[in-house]
Amino acid sequence: MDRLGWLDWHMRRMELPFQSLVPEITQDFKTDLMFQSHAVLALQEAAEAYLVGLFKDTNPCAIYAKRVTIMPKDI
């Protein structure tokens, strides 16, 4: 399997836990919601982009503190 094929397989595998997480979170607000697969994928993309940005912003704080591992206090 080439790298692009592996990446596609890996991303599809990561969709499954997220698909079950979305209804679990939203049931606290409204119980009769249904989600299209494209909507769940868009939510996952947005969540991943947010986390990547957060970690990019957090890393300089850890470096400034002379650490290689980010910690909750860096966020």
CATH code, 15: 1.10.20.10
What confidence score (pLDDT) does residue 16 get? 75
Asked if the structure places residue 30 within a domain, the reply is yes
Asked if the structure places residue 40 within a domain, the reply is yes
Asked if the structure places residue 48 within a domain, the reply is yes
pTM of the model: 0.69
Looking at the structure of the chain, the number of domains it has is 1
Asked if the structure places residue 73 within a domain, the reply is no
Q: Which domain holds residue 14?
A: 3-65
Torsion angles phi and psi, residue 10, rounded to 5: -65, -45
> Which regions in the chain score pLDDT beneath 50?
none
What confidence score (pLDDT) does residue 48 get? 87
Q: What angle do CA 52, 54, 57 make, to 5 degrees?
A: 110
What confidence score (pLDDT) does residue 67 get? 93
